[in-house]
Amino acid sequence: MNKINKYMKNVFLLILSISLIGFLCGCGEKPPIEKGKIKIRYVNVESFPELIKRHRAIVDRFNQTHPDIDVVYEVGHGGAQKILVEIAGGAAPDVFFWWEHLLGPVAEKGAIIDLSPYIKDVNLDEYFPLFANWQYNGKLYGFPFIWSPNAALFYNKDSFNKAGLEYPDKNWTWDDFLEAAKKLTIISDDGKVLQYGAGAIDNGFAITVLHSFGGDFFDEDTTMSTIDSPEAIEAFNYLIDLQSKYKVIPKTQELVSSQFGNKEMFEARRLAMYISSFNALEGFKKHIKDFSWDIAPIPMKKGKSRVVGGGSSALCISAQSKHPKEASEFIKFACGYEGGKILAEHGGIPTNRKALLEVLSPPPEHILEACVEQVEYFRTSQFYKKTWAQEFETRIMNPEFEKLFYELQTIDQTINNIKKESEKLIKGGK
């Protein structure tokens, strides 16, 4: 429950920072323009060492090929809150990395600029169809940079071979997933689980199943909560049955007590399957040496089409920037073919199709089928454009999911709580 308190604290700080933008945005003094090269300050809050390397490589390459512009890259320790505080204090970076679910507040406050006039020379057909996710009130406020589909079913080929099972493929349903998980769960004579069929429930897994079953948190126009729909209820029952009825996945509290996450358990051969985003791909390539593994498309609900959830992150230009044209040149480079190739070489999934296809290759064997060919099934919830999207995730969804996965409350209680609090947000926010 300490995690829930932490969520509440974080959302309070984030909302406070956002509210300061409306009062202080543009009030601070800006540094004078230096002679010579035009300096562009770029802040990215992704602070893992491998992520820092990829962004630094993109910046270095841009600076080498653009002698009149000097992009200064900074690692923004402090996450979104750091950016919001800098915006509010009139010291915003020219360019910063941002997330879909936080677009509404900064766009509504006028803290970022419409990119449409600056990217007229860009052929959007060369990119995955993610630009609509970065439109707010008809204007484009972010150039999609990294695509993060929750579309990966990682599996241990050795475990499947030992169990005499065929490998997952594009025709797999969630029923197939369950039946395989039963056969892949191995229990010792003394009752100890040596290998689970699949990984524990986390938010990404839960939302993937929710969408696959035809459910969602809100209707398409975000005018009402639909979390109590028959499809959503069926999805939650399926997830909890995996954990409590069939016992083919570890309980959330078991992972916490073992200090192991799903990723580490898969690497340690404790999980035969693992539903995740593609973010795990590069780590598995580096760390897994003692068994064969592959990747398959996400399963689908029998009788329904495949749904691939996830989202994207983008680069935005601050309304405080004195050099939006030069800042846009960097954004187009970083998100375009050249920057996309560097990103892909460092394990990211760029939004530029050509860049991804030139770099992405086996292993694992079916990486292209599992990634690129699923883009037509990609969807993201429209509530992310609401100014209260972050509050919904942090104050409502995360703690309610946590209580459900920890078996501290029933499915009915979880659904009722989410619906009640969601309707308050709808009535009171944009």
Residue in the structure block whose two tokens are 């707010």: 136
Confidence (pTM): 0.79
Cα distances from 355 to residues 125, 153, 361, in angstroms, run 13, 23, 12
Indicate the pLDDT class of residue 256, thresholds 50, 70 and 90: low
Whether the CB-CB separation of 189 and 332 falls below 8 Å is answered with: no
Least confident of 15-19, 227-231, 339-343: 15-19
Whether the CB-CB separation of 229 and 423 falls below 8 Å is answered with: no
Report the alpha-carbon distance of residue 319 to residue 284 in Å, rounded: 40
What is the reported pLDDT for 295? 93
| Residue 373: pLDDT over 70 | no
Domains in the chain and their CATH numbers? 2-149+311-371 (3.40.190.10), 152-309+386-428 (3.40.190.10)
For the residues 171-195, what does the mean pLDDT come to? 95
Indicate the pLDDT class of residue 311, thresholds 50, 70 and 90: confident
What is the reported pLDDT for 386? 86
What is the reported pLDDT for 430? 56
Shortest CA distance to 174 belongs to which of 303, 360, 39, 336?
303
pLDDT, mean over the chain: 86
User: How would DSSP label each residue in 254-312?
Assistant: HHHHHT--HHHHHHTTSBSEEEE-GGGHHHHHHH--SS-EEEEPPPB-TTS---BEEEE
What is the reported pLDDT for 394? 92
Model pLDDT for residues 216-236, shown as the tens digit of each residue = 999 988 999 999 999 999 999
Report the alpha-carbon distance of residue 78 to residue 406 in Å, rounded: 29
What is the reported pLDDT for 356? 87
Q: b or e along 350-381 (b: 16 or more beta carbons within 10 Å of the residue's beta carbon)?
A: bbbbebbeebbeeebebbeebbeebeebbebb
More confident residue, 285 or 156: 156
More confident residue, 413 or 372: 413
What is the reported pLDDT for 11? 45
Indicate the pLDDT class of residue 324, thresholds 50, 70 and 90: very high
What is the reported pLDDT for 371? 73
Percent of the chain exceeding pLDDT 90 equals 57
Greatest mean pLDDT range, 35-44, 348-357, 417-426: 417-426
Least confident of 60-64, 127-131, 326-330: 127-131
